[in-house]
Structure 1
Amino acid sequence: MKSSIFLQGLFFIAGVAAQTPRQRYKAICDDLDGQSKTFDNGYEITYFCTKNGIIASMLDTQTTDSPDECAQACNAYSGCKGSSWLYTSKECQIFGEGGAGEEVRATVFMRRDSPEVDTSGGGGQESSDCTATEHALHDCEESERELTEELEACRAGKRECEEENEECEDKLAHERVSCRLAERKALPKCPAIHDTVISSGGKNYKAWCNHQHPGTFYKQTDLGFDACIAQCSTEARCKGIRYFVAAGARCKFYETSDASMGPVSTTMLVSLHKL
């Protein structure tokens, strides 16, 4: 019989030890929310689920495996009036006030109901409170230093981005100037050849700058100006040319071409009519 009782006790302990932090949390909050508990050592608490302590009164943080261990940590901590246990991190927060604070999910606050026994001999409370405050101040200073460094890094990154953006805008402006210069270089001798006759490959052409003639288009290439005229001279079908500098295929051949020319707004078009 004694062996049976002993084994049952072992199974119970093993079952408790095998519980996950979430299971330990739910074991209390599913059934004991708002209820009181007295531990074997006489320490009394009341559970408040999804509640945290009053943050302004936090004295310390520890790590415990269960809510009840967190409650006992409060009992052993001078000046503690309540403790909260966060099951996701197993963090036990010690508070100097016994009132429940804001709602926080996955948290149980355990208010101290037993009177505190002063074992400090008179001066320990102030020392404990000051130590916790000093720790909190140190943590705040460290956090402030880290945030300041992050802010400076962010500002430096922003300045770098702004400088890169300005550099891109400068390059774009220069590219536009270069493009205009390249277009002018590519534009064949206008306005000097306007309304004149030019020859190429034994053929004569009447040329007009910034004008276009009616006609029937039949093909296009990306030949340069002189090569474009020379190619037209070799083709009996080619009766006229429109050379448009800004187009992808600048050299356009026409199988019919009317000598009547009309002005256009662009400054990069030359029309030639084969005579």
Structure 2
Amino acid sequence: MRSFSMTVNSFFSMSFMPVVLFVGTFLFPQIVFLDAPLPWQIGFQDPATPIAQGIQDLHHDICFFMVVVLTFVIWMLCRTLWHFHWTKNPIPSKIIHGTVIEVAWTVTPSLILMVIAVPSFALLYSMDEIVNPSITLKAIGHQWYWTYELSDYSTADDASIVFDSYMIPEDDLTLGQLRLLEVDNRVVLPVHTHVRVIVTAADVLHSWAVPSLGVKCDAVPGRLNQTSFFLQREGIFYGQCSEICGANHGFMPIVVEGVSLDEYISWVSNKMEEI
């Protein structure tokens, strides 16, 4: 009976979620965000960091050039097929060399690539830039869960805030929770704060990725990779391991909860009391 009710709830959630998002986007645009994947989703999740916004803007700019080039190529092909059909042009013309057209199809793509390169280089530079962080979060990938460590609030290594984050099994989900995406311990971070994330692994290759934050960093055993982000709004942001790491690769999600500074301080205080 429980499995049947969960199936019904899952069906209604999948069926009406697009409608709820569509209506909510127009009625309450300031509170409705897409921070988790949806069935049959095509577009991006709503950005929550400047990097994620920059990635989506660059994607849209490149798509503009792609549509222009695609339209021109299709027009040329259709025009060629129409005018040079054997019924209209039974005697084919023998054109071996055309300087103007060869210069045109060489220079034009070069100019397009140069125009695309300017914003892409700026985005790459901003992604690699590490501003003096206020918080450093260490994420360690395991088969198949994540371990998080916050050492900014302790003077000794054994007093750091360390906790494991496991996926909540489907049988333990409550109404409204997302299947394969919910965890028992979320990463809580404050908004409007520069955060540095150090990523590593304890066994095999993993990847710490959260689409709404524009973050995807490989976790390599024996090495430390780092990335950073700046949360612009509160919310719950879902991600998953993006490197095939074994049989349960699809069962180690990532959940980052953006909260106000006061709520973050309260969360840190509670974690320190548990040590």
Give the TM-score range, shorter chain.
Answer: under 0.3
Instruction: Determine which structure has the larger strand proportion and give its number.
Output: 1
TM score, norm. by length of structure 2 = 0.23
Q: TM-score, normalised by structure 1?
A: 0.23
Instruction: State the structure with more CA Rg.
Output: 1
Larger RCO: Structure 1 or Structure 2 (Cα < 8 Å, ≥ 6 residues apart)?
2
